[in-house]
Amino acid sequence: MDQFLLTTTVFLGAAISFVPLFKRFGLGSILGYLFAGVLIGPAVLGLVEDVDTILHISELGVVMLLFVIGLELNPKRLWRMRRHVFGMGAAQVLVCGFLLAVLFFVLHESVNVAVLLGMTLALSSTAFALQLLEEKKQLQTEHGQGAFSILLFQDLAVVPLLALVPLLGVESGATSGAPTWIVVIKAVGVIAGLLVVGRYGVQHVFRFIALHGSHEVFTAAALFLVMGTAALVHAVGLSMALGAFLAGMLLASSEYRHELEASLSPFKGLLLGLFFMAVGMSLNLTSIIESPAYIVGVVIALVAIKLLAIFFMGRVFGYQKESARNMSVVISQGGEFGFVLLSVGVVSQVIDQNLSSKIAAVITLSMALTPLLVYLNQKFFRTFSELSERPEEVFPADEVQVLVVGYGRFGQIISRLLAFNQIPFIALDHSATQIELSKKFGTKVYYGDATRAEVLHAAGADKVKVIALAIDDVDDSIAATKIIRQKFSEAKLVARARNRFHAMELMALGVEVIHRETYESSLCAAADTLGALGLSKQHIDFQISTFREHDNKMLRDQLQYRHNEDKFISFTQNANKNLKYLLQGDQQFGKDPDQAN
């Protein structure tokens, strides 16, 4: 326990010491994590020794990242991307693998070794690339979607590549384990099972937990889903990240997707940071010191080959020049699955441990180089043109413009009028009962707690033009308002107030557009009551408008006294006397309609 606490403290201390510093100088968080890992790892200070175990644990960060990505990509959209996933992705693996194999053959490696190293370095880092794209909000751009398509195919290609490595070994005929066709059947069976369970079972489980559980139980269920799926697909030889991606994709249309994303976000961030530090810790400085020219030369060749090959492939598949260049820069490094292929290669006697250590150092250095390349590309080559930054598929009518927070009687009216005007919106509510009721009427409402910034962010609060805050609970409304004002201030906020004091609290937070939920209906009822007593319409209209104008001004003036009861009561009494004089002064408008003229 003491060692665990010490190791945890070292990791947290290293992260908070270097990551903010690197971000301060525009180098990004990933490079900060890498540097911290190198510093605390065996090669420098030696504060942490068991690198392999930490690397395996931290891979769950990559798994969660792919699950969240899957939540944002429904099967229909993936089918539309099939040309880029299976066309451009396959071309990248084959072309880069071939060119890199030729490189190692020229460096006097055998054909089998060259093939293994070519395949190993053809793979890019899903964790590095997607994290960089997410940090810079470029995942939905043309080059971001292109990079994602290639990375997705690489994850699919890991299984056949792992099966191929033993065939390159010294005793390829004596490979152990089940035949390849059995492995393939198992993999297909597991994927089919995931599709069925994800489509027909998982949502019912989350619905039950939302109705009868707590937020902590919901988070535990989300973790169980991701880790359980990863363990299942890993057991049949598939990539854990691929399994998590499939699970996320199956829940992309679920009303619980935003809450799932928000629940996993803290774990994803911490484990990804741990993964990047573990990569830094695994850097073998001894190999670099012994063969600096070889390692640096291979790193330069690797990055150059992938930059050029991916750039030209992007152009062939219809990407504009700038988009193709951006895409090639993001995925120009070696990948985390390269470490796996290298270890299998050593066990299968394709390569020796010394060469494996050198190539592992090449992969790590290429990863460390990527944030710098992205930074240089953005600073000196990017023009941020609309063509380069647009989403891969632009559907203006589907761009969400409004986030309706709270789908009770107040939020429903707002949503219905938005729908009538064909204005795209997302409705968010924390009541599973309300969501199920809305579904019966054909309305899609997402499940999520709006008092959590990560839920609002997942629902698109940073992109919408208007946030309609229609939460019924006063405390939750105030909590959500504080988050919106602090983190999503670019959106115009239209807020619902339960009562006068709620309205004043919203005003104190800087909310300008506030609607008291019973105020206007009360004025209408008062007008109808006066009309039923025979007062003229002009008289009623004057009194209602005078009352509204005076009361709104009084509400603003009462704000300064809301925490002092005596002054508040005194001010209110005086204000009501003034209002009485104003309304009684209108005696020229009586019950006689002729007098009203």
Helices vs strands, H then E, count in the chain: 28, 6
Question: What pLDDT score does 26 carry?
Answer: 63
Q: Would the pLDDT of 113 be above 70?
A: yes
Question: What pLDDT score does 1 carry?
Answer: 53
Segment 335-342 shows an average pLDDT of 78
Decide: residue 592, CB within 10 A, 0-12 exposed, 13-18 middle, 19+ buried: exposed
pLDDT band at 591 (very low <50, low <70, confident <90, very high): very low
DSSP track, 320-362: -HHHHHHHHHHT-S--HHHHHHHHHHHHTTSS-HHHHHHHHHH
The token pair that represents 39 in the structure block:
């510093």
Task: Determine phi and psi for 416, rounding to 5 degrees.
Answer: -65, -40
Amino acid code (one letter) for 276: F
Which tens digit of pLDDT belongs to each residue from 5-31?
888 888 888 888 888 888 777 666 777
Region of poorest pLDDT, from 54-63, 99-108, 226-235, 451-460: 54-63
Segment 247-254 shows an average pLDDT of 75
Question: What pLDDT score does 350 carry?
Answer: 83
Amino acid code (one letter) for 22: F
Question: What pLDDT score does 392 carry?
Answer: 37
Amino acid code (one letter) for 299: V
Q: Would the pLDDT of 387 be above 60?
A: no
Do the Cβ atoms of 334 and 366 come closer than 8 Å?
A: yes
pLDDT band at 309 (very low <50, low <70, confident <90, very high): very high
Amino acid code (one letter) for 355: L
Query: What is the DSSP code (8-state) at residue 165?
Result: G
Question: What pLDDT score does 467 carry?
Answer: 93
pLDDT band at 72 (very low <50, low <70, confident <90, very high): low
Euclidean distance between CA atoms 70 and 84, whole angstroms? 17
What b/e readout covers 386-418, taking b as 16+ CB neighbours within 10 angstroms?
eebbeebeeeeeeeebbbbbbbbebbbebbeeb
CA distances, 288 to each of 96, 293, 398, 440 (Å): 24, 8, 51, 63
Decide: residue 188, CB within 10 A, 0-12 exposed, 13-18 middle, 19+ buried: exposed
Q: Which of 157, 143, 102 is nearest to 302 (CA)?
A: 102
Question: What pLDDT score does 7 carry?
Answer: 80
Q: Round the average pLDDT of the chain to a whole number and report it.
A: 79
Which tens digit of pLDDT belongs to each residue from 352-381?
878 887 888 888 888 888 888 888 887 777
Instruction: Report which of residues 398 and 191 the model is more confident about.
Output: 191
Euclidean distance between CA atoms 419 and 82, whole angstroms? 32
Q: Would the pLDDT of 388 be above 50?
A: no
Do the Cβ atoms of 262 and 455 come closer than 8 Å?
A: yes
Question: What pLDDT score does 178 carry?
Answer: 54
Segment 329-336 shows an average pLDDT of 87
The token pair that represents 136 in the structure block:
């810079």
Question: What pLDDT score does 86 carry?
Answer: 86
Euclidean distance between CA atoms 6 and 11, whole angstroms? 9
Question: What pLDDT score does 170 carry?
Answer: 54
Question: What pLDDT score does 77 carry?
Answer: 67
Region of poorest pLDDT, from 422-436, 482-496, 518-532: 422-436
For the CA atoms of the chain, what is the radius of gyration?
Answer: 30
Question: What pLDDT score does 353 carry?
Answer: 74
Question: What pLDDT score does 12 carry?
Answer: 85
Q: What percent of the chain is predicted at pLDDT more than 90?
A: 12
Q: What percent of the chain is predicted at pLDDT more than 70?
A: 87
Segment 323-337 shows an average pLDDT of 87
Segment 488-509 shows an average pLDDT of 89
Question: What pLDDT score does 179 carry?
Answer: 58
Question: What pLDDT score does 102 carry?
Answer: 93
- Most confident of the following: 108-117, 184-193, 211-220, 431-440: 108-117
Region of poorest pLDDT, from 251-265, 323-337, 440-454, 568-582: 251-265
Euclidean distance between CA atoms 237 and 337, whole angstroms? 13
Question: What pLDDT score does 27 carry?
Answer: 63
Q: Which of 315, 324, 328 is nearest to 370 (CA)?
A: 328
Question: What pLDDT score does 42 carry?
Answer: 81
Segment 42-53 shows an average pLDDT of 78
Domains of the chain: 2-170+179-389 (1.20.1530.20), 395-516 (3.40.50.720), 518-597 (no CATH)
pLDDT band at 597 (very low <50, low <70, confident <90, very high): very low
Region of poorest pLDDT, from 174-183, 208-217, 292-301, 419-428: 174-183
